[in-house]
Structure 1
Amino acid sequence: MTTTDTPRTPPHRTALAIRHLGFEDLGLLEPLLRERGHTVRYLDVATEPVDTALVREAGLVVVLGGPIGADDADRYPFLADELTALRARLADGSPTLGICLGAQLMARALGAAISPGAAREIGYAPVRLTADGASSPLRHLEGVPVLHWHDDMFGVPDGARLLAGTPACPHQAFALGPRVLGLQFHLETPVEEIENWLVGHAGDLVEAGVHPAGLRDAAAEAGPRLHAGATAAITEWLATAGC
């Protein structure tokens, strides 16, 4: 290697974040990944080609949220390429974490259906852990208000374990083995970034009749507990997944 060469990060130390919307990023997860020695890379699928080899070879993939549907490939063609890449990755059982839309896309890639939930969920509330959830890394979120912002719900893929639910959305988390985890809720958004959501998803708030002041206050109240619970849950899951 010459003095002008830039060392390349080995694929197994790359954490690839598949991003659909700029402000729905890794949030508090990014420093956790960097602390564990990962190089973080974003793939903005709305503007960048989806390279199946890149998605398949990364040491860890985190599929982030967004305000579109997992079945909206007719409206957003990049979703078809994203699903192809995720099918290839999940067939290998490689470490993959999905959040909200990301979890729906993972479930869809694994053959499960996506359906409307009983009601739109926007706001902070705990999830109810199943017996499997209570013995998983999500136990650190027991009783902790997490951020909900969704209409749809994933089906539980064949062979996966249901970890959590709410009355309006019985399928809030699933695990397929120790290295694949899908979360319908958000645990990654720090209170310092909630204003981006209140502005960026203002239309959702108007439609749902939710005033941003209430969410702002709820974020401030939930912030410390959610940060601690999310940090513990994801740190344990990363260790279990070999990341």
Structure 2
Amino acid sequence: MKKLEGKIALVTGGSSGIGLATARLLVEEGAHVFITGRRQAHLDEAVRLIGSNVTGVQGDIGNLEDLDRLFRVIAEEKGRLDMVFANAAIQASAPLGAIEIEQYNRIFDVNVRGTLLTVQSALPLLSDGASILLMASVAASKGNPSRSLYAASKAAIRSFARSWANDLKSRAIRVNAISPGPTDTAAFNSPGVPAEQTAQIKNRMASNIPLGRLARSEEIAKAAVFLLSDDSSFTTGSEMYVDGGFTQI
């Protein structure tokens, strides 16, 4: 019997990158997984790649109507959740002095408000003893130039994990955060950026990581599944760095 047999999971932002890798591994371990994504075509492709025991629900976690629809689908199809990976997030770069209020609103609407609403909306469906994982980032522990908005949003996520672990302890619901280091995902493939320039960016980032390379999405996914599963049954309120030593050495 697989260790997640019969479990029901939600992975927001599950149509690509770390979210997709985590959803695939959860299904491999026996869970049925609901995934979300903003773009229907990408979501459909993710469902095809995962293959079975997966339900795709298109939507933006920054949109309350989309979230309401998501949890109606979960309630109707499965009636409960055992694991929630609040993974969906967006990025932005701007130095102080050039930050636009629209950037601020979008980053905090999705990364902070969206995570809050995702978890809060999931509570009525969560089983006692369930596990919640929040997508934080090493950015919250670094002072990288032009990244203050994103870093601040991820610092809020880390704080949520501490407080919510206390809020939910009476139900034995665990809440943890995961902070990946630079990870080789499609996010690097910006439209119009030459492949050579992308390679230079990756190499420059890798040179600052003690293990000498970027993470693979599958490596982050393995840590995420550990925190979501009963393998981490005595872990709550914590932050796991999966960063090749980037923030620790």
Question: Which of the five TM-score ranges fits, normalised by the shorter chain?
Answer: 0.3 to 0.5
Which protein is richer in helix relative to its size?
2
More strand by share: 1
- The alignment's TM-score, normalised by the length of structure 2, stands at 0.45
TM-score normalized by the length of structure 1: 0.46
